[in-house]
Amino acid sequence: MKLNCVAIDDEPLALELLSKFIEQTSFLNLIGKFSNAIEALGFINQNEVQLAFMDIQMPDLSGMELARVLDGKKNSDKTRIIFATAYHQFAIEGYKVEALDYLLKPYSYEDFLNAATKAFSYFEKQTKTKTEGPIAEPAAPEYIFLKVEYQLVKVMLKDIGYVEAYKDYVKVHLLSKPNPLLSLTSLKSMEELLPTDKFMRVHRSYIVALDHIDSVSKNVIQIGKNHISVSDNYKEAFLEFMSRWMN
């Protein structure tokens, strides 16, 4: 499943960055970009657009005004909004028009991807409700992008063995490489980014890939030659997973 998207921002550089992020995200399909909200509204009314990434402060018609117009379409197929703006004071208003998320400029690709993944999950649930059954498409993208030094590195989810907190960074231990990737982000951000059906936090310092668990002994998980403790705060959720695994 791909979501048809539009990018709306009256600042050329901001519009190009937003468009670039959409285009490099596997489950998004950029079908229009606009520097004018009125033109964008005309396009949305004539095309199937699931998701609009847009600024708030724009001439003629503001992003918030456009969001209210779109929110007035009382049907399940209405275009949903993710705001991308430099003005944090509009966050409460954004939730009033049922915006799916709120990106505060300057935002990173990691921030963008977190918001986009949230939108994907929303539309996936909508699809399941309509069809009353599972959908054939994957529940999440097959890869993520991590900031490593001065570049964004594409990492396949199936290659991640576990993630380890390390000061202000995280170490992403890959099955295909002897040395982990060091990324400037928090373990909490990684937990929000990774799909919950494939990854689980088991310790304040560790997230493990459930598919790559080789064995469990007492409260210790083995992935390859690495042993990771399950702390008391996360033991209940892990034991619940284990009970499903053993059935």
pLDDT in tens, 146-155: 888 888 888 9
Locate CATH 2.40.50.1020 in the chain.
143-246
User: How many helices and strands in the chain, by DSSP H and E?
Assistant: 7, 15
| Topology classification of domain 143-246 | OB fold (Dihydrolipoamide Acetyltransferase, E2P) (2.40.50)
Q: What share of the chain is helix, strand, coil (3-state, %, to 5)?
A: 35, 30, 35
Interval 71-85 mean pLDDT: 74
Q: How many other CB atoms sit within 10 Å of the CB of residue 232?
A: 9
CA 200 to chain centre: 16
CA gap 97, 81 in Å, rounded: 9
pTM: 0.52
Structure tokens at 4: 């048809």
| CB-CB contact of 63 with 97 (8 Å) | no
Q: Which residue has the higher pLDDT, 80 or 245?
A: 80
Q: What is the pLDDT of residues 12-53, one digit of tens each?
A: 999 999 999 999 999 999 999 999 999 999 999 899 999 999
Compute the distance between CA of residue 53 and CA of residue 148 in angstroms, rounded to an integer: 26
Cβ atoms 116, 25 nearer than 8 A: yes
Architecture in CATH of 3-131: 3-Layer(aba) Sandwich (3.40)
pLDDT band at 87 (very low <50, low <70, confident <90, very high): low
CA distance 174 to 198: 15
- pLDDT over threshold 90, residue 84: no
For CATH 3.40.50.2300, the residue range(s) in the chain are 3-131
